Copies of this chain bind each other. A is one copy, B any other.
């Protein structure tokens, strides 16, 4: 028989216990902050019908990046590339019985067939938080405040990240002013989305192809160089969408959230309808959008029910991990094993009894069943990061007095079974 590969599938990760501990630490921070804001956790199946994505997700994702296939019953299915269509489907299914504002979050794994690179994997996890049923900008403000609170909960400092806010409606105003041909709209948004990644000359050269003529060059230039809403060209500064962006930024600043206007923010998905935002990593080595979101009021309505105003965002695990790593915000996490029982003289049965008593007191207890010499068992206990070792052999079975060793300090004490718990706690 040929031997099997031990590698995980390309672009995916195995999580050994030390990796899983970090992931759980990250997820539990996400959970705590979201629940602090009254968001409740939900989940949806990884497999969805293909039609769910052809409706509204970005075209690039559907046609080039999905894991789609035909099941044994002839259905066209997809391993979800993102969560937003699924949660919209779920809300539509119970449109009338749910109560609003409805706050939901989830930490799904998603799949995209991309070239694996730093911060970009084929299987990734993504916090999704959404608020349904609020048309006013209070919902946008809350969702952005929630994003900011998550960054702060991870220990991020104000100079390490930046929140940039824009409005799809403001871009629509520009479309109207420059009389953008309908066919060029998709290209217009795609180009803006790449602005930070290409050089200035290339950007303007491409822009000339999309917005023909020089008539609007000054307007566009004024728009893209504006660092605040007040800086916008006069045709834009008094529009309702500009005022909304200014109000959101002002409210956030008053709430201790630092946010600025970002004229280049559009977001890749087609479903956004108004305010959009992105959170940038300000580390020079890692300078990119970490995550973002915005308002998408039309998606629930795609399911044949009355539309519901919605604001939400998605935050990937891999980009966050890079941020935390480069800013030295990752913790050292202990293994969680409180007691490692070193078994001598084949006293497995007695060791199991000691373990049972300690477990009943909520201690995590690992029993060494290897029959190896004491030194080797102790070495294993240390390698596994256990906090204490308890020795169980003939002597202990006779005397009912056990040696308990603190594996960090090396201090060793003798005590009865009842006292082991107190020593360890």
A residues lining the B interface (CB < 8 Å): 1, 3-10, 12-17, 19-21, 23-24, 35-38, 40-49, 51-52, 55, 67, 69-73, 75, 77, 79, 89-90, 92-94, 99-101, 103-104, 109, 111, 113, 122-123, 131, 133-134, 136, 138-139, 141-142, 145, 149, 251, 254-255, 302-304, 335-337, 340, 348-349, 352-353, 355-356, 359, 362-371, 379-380, 383-384
Question: A317 → chain B, closest Cβ, in Å?
Answer: 12
Chain B residues in 8 Å Cβ range of A69: 67, 69-70
Q: Which of A12, A43, A145 has the most CB of B within 10 A?
A: A43
The answer to whether A370 touches B133, judged by C-beta atoms less than 8 angstroms apart, is: yes
The answer to whether B38 touches A123, judged by C-beta atoms less than 8 angstroms apart, is: no
Beyond contacts A8-B45, A46-B46, A254-B349: 18 other A-B pairs, Cβ-Cβ < 8 A, are A4-B55, A5-B303, A8-B44, A9-B47, A9-B75, A10-B75, A14-B44, A14-B45, A15-B44, A16-B42, A19-B42, A35-B364, A46-B123, A69-B69, A101-B369, A133-B370, A142-B367, A145-B352
The answer to whether B139 touches A369, judged by C-beta atoms less than 8 angstroms apart, is: yes
The answer to whether B47 touches A111, judged by C-beta atoms less than 8 angstroms apart, is: yes
Chain B residues in 8 Å Cβ range of A371: 136
The answer to whether B251 touches A349, judged by C-beta atoms less than 8 angstroms apart, is: yes
The answer to whether A40 touches B17, judged by C-beta atoms less than 8 angstroms apart, is: yes
Q: Which residue of B lies closest to A94 (CB)?
A: B16
A422–B264 CA distance with the chains assembled, in angstroms: 46
Q: Which of B40, B75, B101 contacts A335 (CB 8 A)?
A: B40
Q: Which of B14, B52, B142, B359 contacts A93 (CB 8 A)?
A: B14
In the A-B complex, the 4 residue pairs with the smallest Cβ-Cβ separation, listed nearest first, are A38-B366, A3-B304, A12-B45, A69-B69
The answer to whether B4 touches A370, judged by C-beta atoms less than 8 angstroms apart, is: no
Q: Which residue of B lies closest to A340 (CB)?
A: B38
Q: Which residue of B lies closest to A100 (CB)?
A: B370
Main secondary structure of the interface of A (DSSP, over half): mixed
Q: Which residue of B lies closest to A31 (CB)?
A: B24
A79-B79, A93-B6, A255-B352 known; A138-B369 Cβ under 8 A: yes
Question: A46 → chain B, closest Cβ, in Å?
Answer: 7
The answer to whether A40 touches B336, judged by C-beta atoms less than 8 angstroms apart, is: yes
Copies assembled: 2
The answer to whether B383 touches A99, judged by C-beta atoms less than 8 angstroms apart, is: yes
Q: Which of B9, B15, B365 contacts A49 (CB 8 A)?
A: B9
Question: A341 → chain B, closest Cβ, in Å?
Answer: 9
Chain B residues in 8 Å Cβ range of A73: 10, 113
Chain B residues in 8 Å Cβ range of A43: 14-15, 20, 23
Chain B residues in 8 Å Cβ range of A24: 41
The answer to whether A47 touches B12, judged by C-beta atoms less than 8 angstroms apart, is: yes
Q: Which of B3, B4, B122, B380 contacts A100 (CB 8 A)?
A: B380
Q: Which of A45, A49, A72, A368 has the most CB of B within 10 A?
A: A45
Q: Which of B36, B123, B349, B383 contacts A47 (CB 8 A)?
A: B123
A45–B23 CA distance with the chains assembled, in angstroms: 14
The answer to whether A72 touches B352, judged by C-beta atoms less than 8 angstroms apart, is: no
A107–B93 CA distance with the chains assembled, in angstroms: 28
The answer to whether A113 touches B72, judged by C-beta atoms less than 8 angstroms apart, is: yes
The answer to whether A89 touches B4, judged by C-beta atoms less than 8 angstroms apart, is: yes
Q: Which of A12, A24, A42 has the most CB of B within 10 A?
A: A42
Query: Can you list 22 A-B contacts (CB < 8 A)?
Result: A1-B55, A4-B302, A5-B51, A8-B48, A9-B49, A10-B75, A13-B45, A15-B42, A16-B42, A16-B90, A19-B42, A20-B40, A37-B366, A38-B337, A40-B335, A46-B46, A71-B113, A101-B370, A101-B380, A103-B366, A142-B367, A145-B352
A20–B35 CA distance with the chains assembled, in angstroms: 13
The answer to whether B369 touches A142, judged by C-beta atoms less than 8 angstroms apart, is: yes
Question: A107 → chain B, closest Cβ, in Å?
Answer: 11
The answer to whether A38 touches B93, judged by C-beta atoms less than 8 angstroms apart, is: no
Question: A420 → chain B, closest Cβ, in Å?
Answer: 15
